[in-house]
């Protein structure tokens, strides 16, 4: 282990993990910026893929340089800069990018004209499709001001935050500029606490919107899953009445195609459903951190959102469960049908082997018959040759027995010799 550095430090030096800086910096990645009342906050979230996110970071770097400030370093996911008398914050997430600007608010009018100094004008370049647009007003309570007229009474929610240190009102409806309005009254929050409350409320609006994306994916998949269920019921019904090998193989092909289509849809929706669950958990965690409670006689934000958000999450879970159940049923039906096909193939193979064995036995018998005939035929010709040889020799005057006697004596020896020769040849062929 190395000792201290040359500057006299008494601490030893270690080999540092390349991730240590990033891990330590992640704790400070999204600090709560102090916000002084009154304040107007504009918040936008855009859906972005990896390519759009990279292009957006390049645009922001050029934008910062054009204003004489330093842009985000490569690989960073958050950046802030001064703009229009306020602060512009940029953040990149897994599937979306947010831009948030806060500036001075009109102290005399709630939700008045948006300050002209905000950055979201014609020169602003949207990184992707807009998903979230919100306007939050942070105010000090003022008596006699009719703030309720800025909201729809039928969906107005009013909640107490941080054990009564602040109050927030919203109706989750879009105003004339397409922005969802939030009004926060600061009773006794410090500037840092105000910044934390504002950030968490904007996160609630962002993540509850992203969580709802899973509902539309589930709605899109419902007819398809229902069609798969009907087809599976029809195919399993046909399995009961099908016994031929060709028909079973055709059913197996249909089940395999159905399973492939189901798995493709399930794989495509896995990320969306998983993301929706994660966003929903974040929304619930933010409400717990805010210590949100309904104001006396009012509906709380959490209760209002739970009325639609919780059923939406249950719908997503139900679709996932149906996909998993359908996949298991398809697997069982495919396994059963494949087993039936395998058994039928084995029966066919057994019948084929039995037929081959019968043919082999017939061939053996035919071979044995031909072998006997061939021994007789060859012996006949050999004996004939011996007879001709004996007659010719007798005519030369040699003292030999009668040619017929010699031929008769040679017959058994010739037959045995030919038979032994044929057996030897067959034995040698069998060894090879």
What are the pLDDT digits (tens) for 146-205?
888 889 999 999 999 999 999 999 999 999 889 999 999 999 999 999 999 999 999 999
In the predicted structure, residue 394 carries a pLDDT above the cut 90: no
Q: What is the mean pLDDT of the chain?
A: 84
* Cα dihedral: 419, 423, 429, 432 (round 10): -150
Q: Where are the alpha helices (DSSP H) in 27-167?
A: 50-66
User: How far apart, in whole angstroms, are the C-alpha atoms of residue 57 and residue 73?
Assistant: 9
Residue in the block written with tokens 């957006």:
56
Number of Cα atoms under 13 Å in the Cβ half of residue 80:
11
What pLDDT is recorded for position 423? Answer: 75
**pTM for the predicted model, two decimal places:** 0.74
Local confidence band at 141 (pLDDT 50, 70, 90 cut-offs): confident
Write down the domain spans for the chain. Answer: 28-211, 366-431
- Using the 8-state DSSP alphabet, how is residue 147 labeled? G
307 φ, ψ (degrees, to nearest 5): -60, -30
User: How far apart, in whole angstroms, are the C-alpha atoms of residue 242 and residue 254?
Assistant: 14
Sign of CA dihedral 296, 297, 302, 303: positive
**What average pLDDT does range 204-209 have in this prediction?**
96
Token reading at 29: 């990645």
Q: Which of 337, 357, 186, 164 is nearest to 250 (CA)?
A: 337
User: How far apart, in whole angstroms, are the C-alpha atoms of residue 357 and residue 379?
Assistant: 32
Residue in the block written with tokens 């066919």:
348
Token reading at 396: 């030369």
User: How far apart, in whole angstroms, are the C-alpha atoms of residue 306 and residue 60?
Assistant: 36
Query: Residue 103 is inside which H or E element, if any?
Result: strand 96-104
User: How far apart, in whole angstroms, are the C-alpha atoms of residue 54 and residue 58?
Assistant: 6
User: How far apart, in whole angstroms, are the C-alpha atoms of residue 239 and residue 342?
Assistant: 15
What pLDDT is recorded for position 186? Answer: 93
What pLDDT is recorded for position 416? Answer: 82
Q: Which of 158, 99, 166 is nearest to 128 (CA)?
A: 99
Report in angstroms the alpha-carbon separations of 95 from 37, 59, 242, 264, 284. 32, 18, 49, 21, 20
More confident position, 268 or 210? 210
Q: Looking at 78-92, 270-284, 360-374, 389-403, which range is the least confident one?
A: 389-403
- Evaluate whether 269 touches 275 at the Cβ level (below 8 Å): no
More confident position, 219 or 390? 219
């Amino acid at each position: 282990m190395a000792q201290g550095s040359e500057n006299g430090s008494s601490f030893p030096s270690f080999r540092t993990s390349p991730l240590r800086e990033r891990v330590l910096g992640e704790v400070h990645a999204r600090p709560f910026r102090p916000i002084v009342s009154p304040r107007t906050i504009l918040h936008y979230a855009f859906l972005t893929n990896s390519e759009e996110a990279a292009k957006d970071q390049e645009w922001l770097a050029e934008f910062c340089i054009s204003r004489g400030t330093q842009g985000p370093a490569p690989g960073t996911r958050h950046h802030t800069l001064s703009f229009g008398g306020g602060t512009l914050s940029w953040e990149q997430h897994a599937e979306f990018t947010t831009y948030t600007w806060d500036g001075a608010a009109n102290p005399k009018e709630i939700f008045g004209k948006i300050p002209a100094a905000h950055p979201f004008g014609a020169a602003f370049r949207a990184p992707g499709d807009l998903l979230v647009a919100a306007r939050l007003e942070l105010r000090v309570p003022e008596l006699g001001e009719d703030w309720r007229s800025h909201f729809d009474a039928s969906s107005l929610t009013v909640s107490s935050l941080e054990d009564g240190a602040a109050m927030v009102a919203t109706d989750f409806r879009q105003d004339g500029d397409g922005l969802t309005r939030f009004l926060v009254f600061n009773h006794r929050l410090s500037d840092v606490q105000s910044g934390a409350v504002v950030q968490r409320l904007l996160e609630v609006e962002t993540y509850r919107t992203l969580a709802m994306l899973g509902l539309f994916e589930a709605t899109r998949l419902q007819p398809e899953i229902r069609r798969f269920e009907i087809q599976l019921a029809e195919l399993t019904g046909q399995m009961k009445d099908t016994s031929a090998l060709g028909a079973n193989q055709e059913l197996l092909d249909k089940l395999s195609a159905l399973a492939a289509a189901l798995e493709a849809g399930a794989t495509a929706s896995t990320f969306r459903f998983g993301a929706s669950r994660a966003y929903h958990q974040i929304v619930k965690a933010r409400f717990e951190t805010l210590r949100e409670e309904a104001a006396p006689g009012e509906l709380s934000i959490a209760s209002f959102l739970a009325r639609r958000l919780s059923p939406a999450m249950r719908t997503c879970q139900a679709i996932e469960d149906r996909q998993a159940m359908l996949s298991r049923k398809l697997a069982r039906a495919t396994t059963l049908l494949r087993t039936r096909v395998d058994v039928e193939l084995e029966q066919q193979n057994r019948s084929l082997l039995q037929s081959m064995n019968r043919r082999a036995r017939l061939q053996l018998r035919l071979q044995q018959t031909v072998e006997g005939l061939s021994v007789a035929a060859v012996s006949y010709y050999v004996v004939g040759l011996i007879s001709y040889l004996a007659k010719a020799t007798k005519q030369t005057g040699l003292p030999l027995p009668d040619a017929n006697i010699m031929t008769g004596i040679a017959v058994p020896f010739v037959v045995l010799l030919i038979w032994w020769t044929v057996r030897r040849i067959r034995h040698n062929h069998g060894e090879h």
